[in-house]
Chain A
């Protein structure tokens, strides 16, 4: 029984692996692009999910943190000839430092004020990037970073290649971070975070330092955001401040809310839906923003917990649907009598 339960918990991980392998084997360009972007946006959404879904802070700086990662690796790689992985570690360090600075200033605030403060930092960073000549200003710069080629016998695996290398790299990062989140959830830190999210003052009254844990969540989210932003720059090959603007912020919020805020796999599911919509439906591709905006608005009104948040009731509903189709003549026993509706209890 226990093994069964564990296997069920592993099913989403398995699904990620299966989709990634399938895309690499089939070698369909569209599927590869959609799967790579799903993994990248899934990661990016995960960073937002960590700070909001787990930490309870509505951060609008995740995209700017991703831009920090993309630009740091690009500069170190193209202008100082650093090794990609060394540059990525440096970028993570820069991103974490930045998140701590922003966090120490912004985490005194909550709600809207925190959201606007993070938005101010994000706008400031983008403005600085677009005036900095070294990174090409508003024109942007090439992100000629290369994570390298893995050679196993006769198999050459280029980690930046669009024919599957980048996808496998992104999927591995995704599995690693989601697995780490699953581990952290069970520790004292994870429990402290959920306590703070539920009731900050109650958590403080039992000795949980709210600022410390929220700062920790913000820094952890920065690590994921930097990796996501860097992978995104590998996908784009060329970066400019416009790639990290408000529309990406909106997309990240939308995929997280649609998938299910506070659920590990929520952003990945949301990203998959977004990519299926935008990559496969041409009409939806040109109007992807509007469609996703509309889905976001409707979802907040009718099902604010997202797909995974309503998973139990959704699957129960699906089960009854299947059952009723199989046995249409069966009448449920506890039918409410007609006319009871208006009666007050």
Chain B
């Protein structure tokens, strides 16, 4: 029973991270029609930035927002300079993001080497309610994810930029006719997605060692979540990340972690085959 709750706690923590990743992916996909393969590398950049700042004796709590802001700026620049130029051909955007993976991973290898980077845990407190171990930093991840998601929802519902963003996602032409600067909104969406990946990466750096291959596995998981939740649906992304993370953590506890990974891929293939629009999605047109 203890094992069960431990798996549950771990699963919920990872779900928070996946949700941040998938929210970024879904935001970019919904607005820009780009599946950004470099999203995993952006997350890794967030991790490395936090590691580097903490290594330079900056507090984790300052390093985290700094990396989020830097990633946001980088995302804005990447979209403005690269993706904006190939809006008419989505596959070109995909190829650009693939090229970016190569560039990012080479830079990471040159600067930070191939060995894993670890930083001291930001919070050393461990709660032990009834024999369970819940490190406080895992709670922080969940709390941060919840706060950010709530902020995102409020931003999308209440602010002018957020409403413009949703309008652009719905119908770019109509939005442009209403005087919404569609291109700037798209840049903003990409910047937001990048910032979310920076947050997820920074939070992960506080819990797990940062390794050069970390971007790939989280990207594939991000895609699984994206497809499962229905591309372009934030609520779907959150629910799907819970499902995927729980499969993973329970699989790792009661089975082997590779069996859990294989299950994840099979679930992805089945969902793509049976319901390409996602399990939990509003009726979104999917090119079949």
Contacts and interface: CB of A to CB of B under 8 A. Distances in A.
A108 B273 contact: yes
A15 interface: no
The number of chain A residues touching the other chain, given as a range, is 35 or more
B20 interface: no
Interface string B239-262: 000000000000000001011011
B286 interface: yes
A300 interface: yes
Interface stretch (A3-11, A185-193, A247-255, A331-339): A247-255
A190 B85 CA distance: 32
B149 interface: no
A106 B271 CA distance: 11
A297 to B, nearest CB: 4
Contacts of B91: 58, 111
Given A110-B288, A112-B90, A113-B286, A297 B261 contact: no
Contact of A111 (B262, B266, B268, B287): B287
Nearest to B227: A116
Contacts of B107: 290
Interface in B194-238: 216, 220, 223-224, 227
Nearest to A293: B102
A131 interface: yes
A120 B269 contact: yes
Nearest to B216: A246
Contact of B258 (A58, A115, A131, A290): A131
Nearest to A251: B102
Contacts of B98: 249-250, 253-254, 293, 296
Interface string A77-119: 0000000000000000000000000000110111111011101
Interface SS of chain A: helix
A292 interface: yes
Residue from B90, B98, B276 whose CB has the most chain A CB atoms within 10 Å: B98
15 contacts: A109-B272, A116-B35, A116-B223, A120-B265, A120-B268, A127-B262, A128-B262, A131-B258, A247-B102, A250-B101, A289-B105, A294-B103, A297-B82, A297-B100, A300-B96
B94 A297 contact: no
Interface string A227-268: 000000000000000000111011001100100000000000
A246 B90 contact: no
Contact of A246 (B101, B227, B259): B101
B106 interface: yes
B99 A294 contact: yes
B86 interface: yes
Q: Which 10 A-B pairs have the closest CB atoms?
A: A293-B102, A290-B106, A296-B99, A124-B265, A297-B99, A293-B103, A293-B99, A289-B102, A289-B106, A131-B258
Contacts of A106: 272
Given A120-B224, A250-B98, 19 more contacts: A109-B288, A111-B287, A113-B286, A120-B269, A121-B269, A124-B265, A130-B258, A131-B258, A250-B99, A250-B101, A254-B98, A257-B95, A289-B102, A295-B99, A296-B96, A297-B82, A297-B100, A300-B96, A301-B85
A47 to B, nearest CB: 17
Given A124-B262, A300-B96, A108 B102 contact: no
Nearest to A254: B99
Interface residues of B, number: 41
A50 B272 CA distance: 24
A245 B101 CA distance: 13
Contacts of B92: 300, 304
Contacts of B57: none
A270 B143 CA distance: 49
Contacts of B227: 113, 116
Given A113-B276, A289-B105, A301 B35 contact: no
A194 interface: no
Interface of A: 58, 105-106, 108-113, 115-117, 119-121, 123-124, 127-128, 130-131, 245-247, 249-250, 253-254, 257, 287, 289-290, 292-297, 300-301, 304
B110 interface: yes
Contacts of B266: 124
A32 to B, nearest CB: 26
Contacts of B268: 116, 120
Interface in B74-112: 82, 85-86, 89-92, 94-96, 98-103, 105-107, 110
A131 B91 CA distance: 33
A301 B86 contact: yes
Contacts of A123: 220, 265
Contacts of B103: 289-290, 293-294, 297
A110 B287 contact: yes
A177 B283 CA distance: 44
